[in-house]
Structure 1
């Protein structure tokens, strides 16, 4: 008589082992795709797992020193399309490589980032991908000491031994500013992002570098903080206009702020690009459908998430990863928000 089925919620590795008439260790080897089990026994165990619709308890497996098959992703926000595309890249690649995603958001809050970094451990995830604003060396040390493999996205750690996937933000910002200069613009305003964000600082440096190359004087009155959001980009542009400083172009450090800037300019009766040209950064989906379609710097957002997972899974599998810092390139996307003067 076939063994009586056990309810899925109570099913354990021991139950699978008893039904298959093998040891618990053998079942564990099959669940974790380890060698040392014959094809016949491996097939038998997999059939039993499928028949009983067994779902492993990831936490229990993690505590037992086995793989949880979960990857953790720490990210500032999920509503912004930039981060949404990062998540897509991480999730699709994780699933393709046999891992599930455990996502936690920090809302770009320093205290929350610290809590999340401390929260993740080997019983929850096999590895961790981190995007954060306020990371300090002590929290990097906590991750290192925990033994959990981890990879940073868009954060350049001081320690050259730490794995990271970056975009050449400075080069992209330099290209955006130089593009506006090539159209005849000399007075170019800059909308910066979060004060603590590394990529915002790098984009500002690229903007200043382009001005210096063409011997244009940097005017601090043409810089306003838009904190990477449409609303703040709108308000920052209003502040620029209230100063009565002359400018014919705006370089916004992301597309969200550029979209907010277009709205503010239109409210003041100014036309884009006839009166003011605008370049954004990121190439999010909305940049191609607003009016006018936004000229922007495209960064490989999806690819960043994909690359981070590929590196992390190799680290989880204890494979050698020689290149610790992956630097991805940006490219200019010309649309209709800029005009030659």
Structure 2
């Protein structure tokens, strides 16, 4: 028996043997549409010949649907959600769960629309990615006992399973980095209706409150158009006040890029005169000069964790809801002075 058959096959093994991409293998094994029948049969044949046995969904695991807030994806955060979907797809494959993805505007996520999406996908479980359910949608989940997981989301009522980065402690740590560098007047550029972002605001305020003489100012964003451009304009206006703000913690890295541009144009040296910390560790963080200091979110891990939650929910629909929080990791960068 060759070595490949003595260990559990993974997507990359099947892809290499079949001469296709890992993404194509993942979609075939998850029974997703959009793959030609000849390619589908070839991949299944290669998998079967090499000892891969896909778990069926008979029994409690019926298949899942991920609804992703199209507002966030089209607003520039597609790279953030790509990582989450990668984790969801990989986790679903390992669990033997059929898995599909749909984009939906958050204001359209009403019970009748979501129910239609689920019926079309043949899904018995649901991931809400970047969506905080309305009261109406929540009531439908509870009445219909729909296994649901909030991905990159939290439920303040602790009724719905969820997985998210540690937004409060991540923001607290980000702000503390600026305070430890000696900054006492710090901006926080933010703006969202989402619970996750409110937690970042709480973390910012908590860190500021613990240091005598520290002052924080919330700079509210509308996100009409480019977040980077809006952050640039708002920061330029604040700096023109000469109010003594010397640092900024930003809701995400796109915003941090705009802040960096504004500080540089104002003739301030970064990080000597003005320090910046972003959040999410998006690819743009490596493209600035200096590279952004930020907080890393493991988006793939969030997706995989969400699958484990929904599998557990399929098995016990009456268990108490679980909220899983993943630590975020400080990334050094060059927009905060090194200790």
Q: TM-score, normalised by structure 2?
A: 0.72
- Which one scores higher on RCO, CA 8 angstroms, separation ≥ 6? 2
Q: Does 1:215 align with 2:212?
A: yes
8 Å contact from structure 1 (residues 85, 301) kept in 2: yes
- Kindly state the Cα deviation for residue 110 of structure 1 after the two structures are TM-superposed: 2.1
The residue number in structure 2 matching 1:143 is 141
Aligned CA distance change for structure 1 residues 216 and 115 (closer, same or farther; 3 Å): farther
Residue in structure 1 matching 2:297, options 293, 296, 299: 299
The answer as to whether partners of 1:74 and 1:104 remain within 8 angstroms in 2 is: yes
Distance 1:152 1:304 in 2: 10
* Structure 1 residues 170-216: Cα deviation after superposition (integer angstroms, max 9, x where no partner): 1111111111111111111111132x021221111111111110023
Give per-residue Cα distances to partners, 1:5-33, cap 9 Å, x unaligned. Answer: xxxxxxxxxxxxxxxxxxxxxxxxxxxxx
Q: In the alignment, which residue of structure 1 is the partner of 2:99?
A: 101
In the aligned structure 2, how far is the partner of 1:122 from the partner of 1:147?
A: 15
When residues 158 and 274 of structure 1 are mapped into structure 2, their CA distance, relative to the original with a 3 A threshold, is closer
Offset at residue 318 of structure 1 (A): 5.0
Distance (Å, rounded) in 1 between the aligned partners of 2:267 and 2:284: 23
2:200 aligned residue: 203
* Maintained 8 Å contact 1:113/1:132: no
Give distance in 2, aligned partners of 1:315 and 1:202: 26
1:316 and 2:309 aligned: no
Q: Could you list the runs of 5+ residues in structure 2 that have no partner in the other structure?
A: 1-40, 46-56
How far has the Cα of 1:226 moved from its partner? 6.2
Quick one: distance in 1 between partners of 2:247 and 2:280? 18
What are the Cα deviations for residues 63-92 of structure 1, in whole angstroms up to 9, with x where unaligned?
A: xx9889542112223351222211111122
Aligned match of 2:64 in 71, 75, 86?
Answer: 71
RMSD between superposed Cα atoms in Å: 3.5
Q: 1:189 to 1:281 in 2, by over 3 A?
A: same
Contact 1:314 1:320 survives alignment (8 Å): no
CA contact (8 A) 2:61 2:314 kept: no
Deviation at 1:145, TM superposition (A): 2.5
Normalised by the length of structure 1, the TM-score is 0.71
User: Distance in 1 between the 2:112 and 2:244 partners?
Assistant: 45
Q: Is the 8 A contact 1:74 1:131 kept in 2?
A: yes
Deviation, structure 1 residue 271: 3.0
Instruction: Report the count of equivalent residues.
Output: 283
**Does the Cα contact within 8 Å between 1:226 and 1:233 map onto a contact in 2?**
no
User: What SS class does the counterpart of residue 142 from structure 1 fall into?
Assistant: helix
Q: CA deviation at 1:112?
A: 4.9
Equivalent residue, structure 2, for 1:243: 241
Query: Does the residue aligned with 2:92 lie in a helix, a strand or coil?
Result: helix
CA contact (8 A) 1:254 1:282 kept: yes
In structure 2, how many angstroms separate the alpha carbons of the residues matched to 1:163 and 1:129?
10
Secondary structure of the residue aligned to 2:127 is strand
Q: Is the 8 A contact 2:188 2:216 kept in 1?
A: no
- 2:182 corresponding residue in structure 1: 184
Computing the radius of gyration from Cα coordinates, the structure with the larger value is 1
- Counterpart-to-counterpart distance in 1, 2:93 and 2:111: 27
Judge which range, 319-328 or 207-216, deviates more: 319-328
